[in-house]
Amino acid sequence: MILKTLTIVNFKNIAMSSIEWSEKMNCIVGQNGVGKTNILDAIYYLSFCRSISNPIDSQLIRHEQPYFMIEGRYYTDEGELEVVTCALKRGVKKKVKRNDKAYGKIADHIGLVPIVFVSPSDTSLIDGGSEDRRRFMDMVISQYNRKYLDALVRYGKALQQRNTLLKAEEEPDGALMDILEMQMAEEGEVIYEARKDFVERLMPVFLHYQHIIASEKDKVGLTYTSHCQRGPLLEVIRRDRAKDRVIGYSLHGIHKDDLDFTIDGRPLKKEGSQGQNKTFVIALKLAQFDFLKRTASMTTPILLLDDIFDKLDSERVARIVDIVLGDDFGQTFITDTDRSHLERILKSYSYDYRIFSVAAGEVKMIAEQYKAEQNLTESRKEKME
């Protein structure tokens, strides 16, 4: 998938901007706080219909403006045009359209434009709680498995209802608890099998990228843990119903699943340096890219790299750039505060790129490299025109 043009109106600090991108590498430079990440967030919003950083849509509207609008013109790997528009007016439900047709359910849009976002906040996968690691699995699997997304929604509703009964002063209705636990078990088993399959398939790809970036210096591991591994989930949930009643919430279920990260056999959270942690997360996200490319309708995802070079030595940075500029990856967006740093790296490669500067929410192209052999095919050119 290629994002050819992006139009932004009143989104965060960006008043109005229409940007035409390189189909290979796009670098966005500027000082901290000027709006570089907001551009990546607008691209992310077009894929997930929500911000990467703020769940409250109304707060994304530029100060004192009545609405925001984001539009992306994409070309699929087959050269077909896809136009996605997301808009929100204060006090009105947001609208998401594909080729001028509104979705019945916004969830139906998820997966059309697969995307991988790598940012400094991703270290929460290591030092944050288990909910961050479950969210990572959910975000990836939901982009290619609609049954998984539906099961997540149904499980969440059953869990919420069960927790409400557990907190109630009066004794919960036993028959209703049975029904809710059966729903949790049924949907939970679907979720568990999808997560288990995902981790098993992700692991070798993750280790491949980890070894390339770290030059095989770090011996890392990744293990999936779940209450489903203790036996039939319904039995696991029901056996501690009395204890759950005392505590006031459900202690067992796939909402407690986790990923254990290790380095040299010890917890990465305790033993890893900043550089090792960042390398681990980047390798994990690159593996996510590879996984989505092979599963999300066989569509090449868009890669967003937000300020990823901090805390990494020059050798690891060079290896990462080598990877994302390779033929296995498609369109990439990178933000950085140092223009000269990026230009020095990019000029040694024979790929198209464009460099954009951002200041006070305004975007302009300041440099580009154009290689004829990297151009679009003639058929795609005709469709784009």
Span of 63-72, 113-122, 223-232, 288-297 with lowest mean pLDDT: 288-297
Q: Using alpha carbons, select from 193, 271, 203, 277 the residue that is nearest to residue 228.
A: 193
pLDDT of residue 318 exceeding 50: yes
Residue pair 302/333 in contact (Cβ under 8 Å)? The answer is yes
pLDDT of residue 296: 65
Residue pair 35/19 in contact (Cβ under 8 Å)? The answer is no
pLDDT of residue 379: 44
Residue pair 38/104 in contact (Cβ under 8 Å)? The answer is no
- Over its C-alpha atoms, the chain yields an Rg (Å, rounded) of 22
Q: Give the Cβ contact number of residue 274 at 10 Å.
A: 11
Q: Give the Cβ contact number of residue 140 at 10 Å.
A: 24
pLDDT of residue 95 exceeding 50: yes
Distance CA 254, CA 252 (A): 7
Helix (H) or strand (E) holding 102: strand 101-102
pLDDT tens-digit profile of 9-37? 999 999 999 999 999 889 998 888 888 89
The model's pTM is 0.80
Distance CA 48, CA 139 (A): 9
Average pLDDT, rounded, for the chain: 87
Residue pair 265/293 in contact (Cβ under 8 Å)? The answer is no
Instruction: Show Cβ contacts of residue 33 under 8 Å, excluding neighbours closer than 6 positions.
Output: none
pLDDT of residue 38 exceeding 90: yes
What superfamily would CATH give domain 1-114+300-385?
A: P-loop containing nucleotide triphosphate hydrolases (3.40.50.300)
Residue pair 43/36 in contact (Cβ under 8 Å)? The answer is no
Length of the chain: 385
pLDDT confidence of 329, banded at 50, 70, 90? Answer: confident
Provide the residue ranges of all domains of the chain, joining segments of one domain with +. 1-114+300-385
Check residues 73 and 327 and name the one with the higher pLDDT: 73
pLDDT tens-digit profile of 61-71? 999 899 999 99
Q: Using alpha carbons, select from 256, 244, 251, 234 the residue that is nearest to residue 172.
A: 244
Beta strands in 134-217 (DSSP E): none
Classify 223 in phi/psi space as left (phi over 0), alpha (psi -120 to 50) or beta.
beta
Instruction: Show Cβ contacts of residue 63 under 8 Å, excluding neighbours closer than 6 positions.
Output: none
pLDDT of residue 146 exceeding 80: yes
Burial annotation 99-109 (CB, 10 A radius, 16+ → b, else e): eeeeeeebeeb
pLDDT of residue 170 exceeding 80: yes
pLDDT of residue 6: 96
Report CA dihedral (258, 304, 82, 1) to the nearest 10 degrees.
-90
Question: Letter for the amino acid at 9?
Answer: V
Q: Using alpha carbons, select from 186, 197, 190, 187 the residue that is nearest to residue 224.
A: 197
pLDDT of residue 14: 92
pLDDT confidence of 297, banded at 50, 70, 90? Answer: low
pLDDT of residue 59: 93
pLDDT tens-digit profile of 192-223? 999 999 999 999 999 999 988 887 677 889 99
**Share above pLDDT 90 across residues of the chain, in percent, rounded to a whole number:** 52
Pull the structure tokens for residue 198.
Answer: 């995902």
Question: Letter for the amino acid at 85?
Answer: T
Phi/psi of residue 376, nearest 5 degrees: -70, 155
Phi/psi of residue 380, nearest 5 degrees: -70, -35
Residue pair 181/252 in contact (Cβ under 8 Å)? The answer is no
